[in-house]
Structure 1
């Protein structure tokens, strides 16, 4: 079931059944997010089902979703997804209170976490209030990791507190970028790879959407200390074996906002807020 939030020129489409996703951000009728047109119609209707396996098995619907970090496949302290049948593609419950929809996952036995994603529509965008609670009986250590997928072909601009950018993933290569004073610019390019931005000033812009978020100067962040990560992908002649047979379906830009790594005792929780501002 799709839940729609409307205010002025803005319309948000949420699908709790599919990992609590925000699957549509439409401004004056124009879709800002990338979503997989082979899987979804304009009304966001599809046959949703939990999905697991290797990265090449991931059913990428698109949109905005929350994952646990760090990502990896070497042990229980790393999240071996996507795909993931609970936090990424499992059904969330949903409660609407005016302009806010709060979506809550089932407990995930793999990470010990239960996610809550509260989406609030604003006059000029939306706010994501994210929460992860340790519902297991063991101590865990994770970070919140919010991933927003957008259609490729444009440049990413991000504010910098310091000129600190690192290469994280080079599937077909490392994305090219420039630093101009307090701005990072990642131009459009056909590459499968990821940059980390330890020096982020807490905002990043792509097209009409600007994401803003707090950065804890004393926090320990995943991926070489990166509160912001930028992923690019494009279709390939064959899947990338070195990335679990990842098979990119389109030109996609991901803006990824992370919270600090946090040790959670049973019953403890962590939170992250990200605001999306939409401008013509």
Structure 2
């Protein structure tokens, strides 16, 4: 595939929302515009770069400590992180080209190649939901190997800063610091936790919400907008590869943070498929 084809965008849009899909680079939702305002992060350093999947360390980045490309957008990873090859997400699934099929004016299916390292294949179906300002991402993970694979779908969305993430939790202190020092970024009262991602302080937090909804509240720089991300299911913490269903990462090298929903992990038998979906809704936040 040529560079131009790898970076060919497919657009799904209505009067309020424009989804920009990028099948050629990991089957991403590369950006979402709400009334002309971009909500997701696209890495300007790697724009139009044609990756060599055998040497992804050559992809331009300011975050040299992370051994994988930061393309941007929303994508599907595979948990657990401890099983990643060479400490990065599976190259064919995260950075390789996906075949795509236009199912309707508002629906596109993107299918990865089978990963030669794991035997796993990802299918991502994206639907613009025109009756509301929102969209649905349906993730499918199929085991094409000849052995069981312990794995879980990991939905990762890179959003532009400044933002605040909120969700309902058993107690405001029921979270784990997975990386860095969030300093004063975390607050809570009652059964809600809030995580502020506003500056270049790298940290990662894991928590297990009591419900399926997490919210991204954008700062004034982006307009008064709240993005709701509703997972299709949530089970007991022990069902998850990382011990919780939700993670938030804040970058020190770029102006983005990540909202990461996990699906429960389990042993996938040969030929078996796991499914998980996240529904997104956008609304203007009252002043």
TM-score range, shorter chain: 0.7 to 0.9
Separation in 1, partners of 2:65, 2:210: 28
Separation in 2, partners of 1:157, 1:126: 20
* 1:182 paired residue number: 191
The change in CA–CA distance for 1:158 and 1:192 in structure 2 (over 3 A counts) is same
TM-score scaled by length of structure 1: 0.84
1:230 aligns with 2:286: no
Alignment of 1:1-280 (within 5 A): 1-40=8-47, 46-51=48-53, 52-53=56-57, 56-72=66-82, 77-82=83-88, 84-98=90-104, 99-123=106-130, 124-163=133-172, 164-170=174-180, 173-174=181-182, 176-187=185-196, 188-206=198-216, 207=218, 208-218=226-236, 220-223=239-242, 225-235=243-253, 250-280=254-284
Does the 8 A contact of 1:82 with 1:88 survive in 2? no
Shift of the alpha carbon at 1:50?
4.2
RMSD value, Cα: 2.0
The change in CA–CA distance for 1:84 and 1:216 in structure 2 (over 3 A counts) is closer
The change in CA–CA distance for 1:203 and 1:80 in structure 2 (over 3 A counts) is farther
Aligned residues: 254
The change in CA–CA distance for 1:114 and 1:227 in structure 2 (over 3 A counts) is same
Shift of the alpha carbon at 1:37?
2.5
Separation in 1, partners of 2:135, 2:67: 31
TM-score scaled by length of structure 2: 0.82
Separation in 1, partners of 2:67, 2:235: 37
Shift of the alpha carbon at 1:95?
0.3
Does the 8 A contact of 2:12 with 2:128 survive in 1? yes
